[in-house]
């Protein structure tokens, strides 16, 4: 809900030159917290980790209206990243516990569908509420939605982790081998390369929309959602049937095409067409990546494997946010080069899947 409104809110505080930090600081904290959420998910349980992530959303949403300086805003944005660092890790591990192997990607696709609806319809709802009643009301509504998540978690979700431990502060001590799961390097590389573009979109689409004369800065995400919903109903099943890597080759190529379409956009219609292609590509990509990560990871450390994948995701989003803000620098003439650069980065994901990853697999099989 906040994404399209935060750049203008930060500008009002005097921080127009720090727009890239809105996504960058958030994803930095999310990435830093992943090893902790992965370890805690595998020790104290999936549900407590999810509850903590949702509670962070509640508290931070209520604090935004109280900040009055650029530093305070950026500090709050940094700590808000705990929410994404914890909630998706617990959720994905929970789903992996309850779903059979042969329907894993299908299930991840359905969870991703719900996530996409929230991530993508949220900006439109947030923009509408902010225009109607002001940005403070939008922040309060965001807190309410997060609180409803906590209510559902506490009231109706049974813990799936066997042999749980009680929380103790010694669990927060992370060993080197607990930072990430080496077995899922392949999914991590592809996740990083494909999510750089997502960080870019979150950062500059509000400005790009305004540049093209689109009043509702969240409209791009509405079209993105519609496309993603349509493809996710089939995407998981296709990955379970045809394999993770073939689907990821297709989705990576589609992501690159969508970036080229945005670079060439001179009208709202072309921009929204790019949103449709991007939504379809990400709808194919996300469940396949998640299922591939679980396939390759240690069954006893699902949380760690998924946290590793999410570290790569946050790194991609964060670098995309910083890079796009640096290149764009509030000058519309740099929109095209920003999108073209993202297309090139995404193309390398396809190159990795076609030529580099198979070679590494063959090398591993010879030892």
Residues in the chain: 367
- Helix residue ranges per DSSP H, the chain: 6-12, 20-43, 46-63, 70-98, 104-133, 135-156, 185-211, 219-242, 244-263, 268-296, 302-328, 335-351, 357-365
pLDDT of 367 higher than 50: no
Structure tokens at 92: 């994905």
Q: Could you tell me which residue, 90 or 228, shows the higher pLDDT?
A: 90
Question: For residue 62, which of 178, 177, 143 has the smallest C-alpha distance?
Answer: 143
Q: What is the DSSP letter of 100?
A: -
* Residue 155 CB contacts under 8 Å (≥ 6 apart), including other chains: none
Please state the rounded mean pLDDT for residues 96-109: 86
| Residue 68, number of CB atoms within 10 A of its CB | 8
Q: Could you tell me which residue, 163 or 40, shows the higher pLDDT?
A: 40
141: left (phi over 0), alpha (psi -120 to 50) or beta: alpha
| Residues 61, 83: Cα–Cα separation, whole Å | 11
pLDDT of 191 higher than 90: yes
| Residues 75, 90: Cα–Cα separation, whole Å | 25
Please state the rounded mean pLDDT for residues 228-255: 85
Token look-up 């650069």 returns: 341
The pLDDT-based confidence of 113 (bands split at 50, 70, 90) is confident
Give the CATH number of domain 6-156+178-365; options: 1.20.1090.10, 3.40.50.10490, 1.20.1250.20, 2.115.10.20.
1.20.1250.20
Structure tokens at 75: 């500090």
- State in Å, rounded, how far the first CA of the chain is from the last one: 50
* Residue 183 CB contacts under 8 Å (≥ 6 apart), including other chains: 296, 297, 298, 305
The pLDDT-based confidence of 236 (bands split at 50, 70, 90) is low
pLDDT of 366 higher than 50: no
Separation in Å, CA 270 to CA 104, 157, 265, 296: 35, 43, 5, 39
Question: For residue 192, which of 263, 183, 85, 184 has the smallest C-alpha distance?
Answer: 184
Provide the 3-class DSSP secondary structure of residue 153: helix
Give the whole-number percent of the chain exceeding pLDDT 90: 56
pLDDT at position 194 is 96
pLDDT at position 142 is 94
| Residues 106, 162: Cα–Cα separation, whole Å | 24
pLDDT at position 16 is 83
Please state the rounded mean pLDDT for residues 318-328: 89
| Residues 114, 169: Cα–Cα separation, whole Å | 33
The pLDDT-based confidence of 359 (bands split at 50, 70, 90) is low
| Averaged pLDDT of the chain | 89
pLDDT at position 361 is 65
The pLDDT-based confidence of 263 (bands split at 50, 70, 90) is very high
Please state the rounded mean pLDDT for residues 337-350: 96
Contact 83, 33 (CB under 8 A): no
| Residues 119, 117: Cα–Cα separation, whole Å | 6
Give the whole-number percent of the chain exceeding pLDDT 70: 96
The pLDDT-based confidence of 110 (bands split at 50, 70, 90) is confident
pLDDT at position 365 is 52
Decide: pTM greater than 0.75: yes
pLDDT at position 115 is 82
pLDDT per residue as tens digits for the range 59-80:
999 999 999 899 999 999 999 9
The pLDDT-based confidence of 189 (bands split at 50, 70, 90) is very high
| Residue 167, number of CB atoms within 10 A of its CB | 13
The pLDDT-based confidence of 187 (bands split at 50, 70, 90) is very high
């Amino acid at each position: 809900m906040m994404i399209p409104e935060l750049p203008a809110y930060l500008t009002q505080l005097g921080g127009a030159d720090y727009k890239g930090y809105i996504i960058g600081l958030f994803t930095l904290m999310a990435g830093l917290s992943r090893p902790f959420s992965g370890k805690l998910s595998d020790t104290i349980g999936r549900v407590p980790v999810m509850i903590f992530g949702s509670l962070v959303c509640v508290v931070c949403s209520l604090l935004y209206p109280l900040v009055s300086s650029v530093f305070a805003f950026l500090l709050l944005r940094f700590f808000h990243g705990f929410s994404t660092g914890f909630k998706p890790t617990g959720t994905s591990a929970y789903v992996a516990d309850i779903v059979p192997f042969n329907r894993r990607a299908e299930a991840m696709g359905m969870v991703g569908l719900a996530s996409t609806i929230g991530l993508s319809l949220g900006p439109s709802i947030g923009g509408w509420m902010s225009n109607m009643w002001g940005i403070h009301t939008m922040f309060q509504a965001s807190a309410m939605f997060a609180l409803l998540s906590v209510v559902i978690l506490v009231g109706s979700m049974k813990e799936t982790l066997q042999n749980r431990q009680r929380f103790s502060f010694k669990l927060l001590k992370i060993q080197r081998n607990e930072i990430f799961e080496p077995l899922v390097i392949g999914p991590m590389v592809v996740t990083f390369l494909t999510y750089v573009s997502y960080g870019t979109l979150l950062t500059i689409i509000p400005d790009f929309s305004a540049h093209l004369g689109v009043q509702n800065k969240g409209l791009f995400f509405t079209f993105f959602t519609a496309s993603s919903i349509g493809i996710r109903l089939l995407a998981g099943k296709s990955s379970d049937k045809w394999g993770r890597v073939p689907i990821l080759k297709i989705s990576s190529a589609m992501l690159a095409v969508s970036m080229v379409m945005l670079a060439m956009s001179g009208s709202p219609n072309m921009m929204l067409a790019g949103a449709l292609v991007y939504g379809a590509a990400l709808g194919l990509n996300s469940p396949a990546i998640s299922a591939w990560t679980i396939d390759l990871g240690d069954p006893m450390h699902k949380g760690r494997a998924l946290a590793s994948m999410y570290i790569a995701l946050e790194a991609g989003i964060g670098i995309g946010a910083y890079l796009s803000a640096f290149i764009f620098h509030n000058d519309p003439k740099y929109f095209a080069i920003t999108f073209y650069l993202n297309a090139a980065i995404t193309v390398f994901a396809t190159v990795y899947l076609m030529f580099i990853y198979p070679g590494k697999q063959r090398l591993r099989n010879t030892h």
